[in-house]
Amino acid sequence: MIKKFIHQFASPKTYLFQVNRVYKYIFYFSLLIYTFSLIWGLLFTPEDFVQGNSFRIIYLHVPASFLSQSLYAIMAIASVTYLIWRVKLAAYLIIAIAPIGAMTTFLALISGSIWGIPTWGTWWQWDARITSTLILFIMYLGLISLHNSFSNFEKADKLLSWLVIVGFINIPIIKKSVDWWSTLHQSASITLTDKPSIDPSMLYPLIGSMIGFFGLIFCLVIISSKLQIFKREKTKSWIKDYV
């Protein structure tokens, strides 16, 4: 029953027609929320008592870090879906997400490094959080180059799915690194279980910037997955109607 449901609603054709309907709304809504939250956070929130104005990088760094890990988790779910139910769309999504995941991880690393200069006095430290995030970035790059090195798409999809699942071990390590090891990086200010340790005047724009950035990255994933569908389904008759 699950297999039937997935194959019916996750066919590249259905996906393409459905995302086309919602893309514009998601894009403009996310852009609006992100712009508003960034302006709010960068110019209208009070200065932090300890870090001064450099804390404002939080509105760019945290959404990028959160997305870098979330995108990998989505890739892992897609990999399991592909390996169990052989859903083609899941395989397309894995390779569509990988470059965007690499970009968000790069943004998380670069924004963290720049933030480190005024707060820690150094732009780089081989501590657990930063090193595990760097490993995530290298993993994304490795997955992209591996996929590009294959001429047989089916073989590449299978291998990539297994590697994504194996590499998923790094995600809880990144998440828990600040608790398991003594690191320069502070522990999480927002968790699902505890009350946030951040003041509401700083928290609300942060939530807004996370929602906005998530929406924009979701739009990038939509375009990237459309490109994959065009590449891989170009011989299908329904593509002709679509184009």
Residues at the interface with other proteins (CB under 8 A)? 38, 40, 42-47, 52-54, 56-57, 60-61, 64, 100, 103, 106-107, 110-111, 114-115, 117-118, 201, 204, 216, 219-220, 223-224, 226-227, 230-231, 234, 239-240, 243
- Closer to other proteins by Cβ: residue 18 or 201: 201
Instruction: Please give the full DSSP string across 137-186, using - where no structure is assigned.
Output: HHHHHHHHHHHHH-S-HHHHHHHHHHHHHHHTTHHHHHHHHHHHS--SSP
- Closer to other proteins by Cβ: residue 30 or 81: 30
CB of 18 to other proteins, least distance (A): 17
CB of 165 to other proteins, least distance (A): 26
55 CB contacts (<8 Å, ≥6 apart)?
47, 48, 202
Q: Can you read off the two tokens belonging to residue 94?
A: 């894995």
CB of 223 to other proteins, least distance (A): 4
CB of 122 to other proteins, least distance (A): 13
CB of 1 to other proteins, least distance (A): 35
Taking the C-alpha atoms of residue 124 and residue 113, their distance in angstroms, rounded to an integer, is 6
Give one word for 186, left, alpha or beta, with left for phi > 0 and alpha for psi -120 to 50. beta
- Closer to other proteins by Cβ: residue 64 or 78: 64
Residue whose C-alpha is closest to residue 217's, from 69, 4, 53, 42: 69
- Closer to other proteins by Cβ: residue 3 or 231: 231
- Closer to other proteins by Cβ: residue 102 or 164: 102
Taking the C-alpha atoms of residue 37 and residue 92, their distance in angstroms, rounded to an integer, is 32
Residue whose C-alpha is closest to residue 174's, from 187, 193, 160: 187
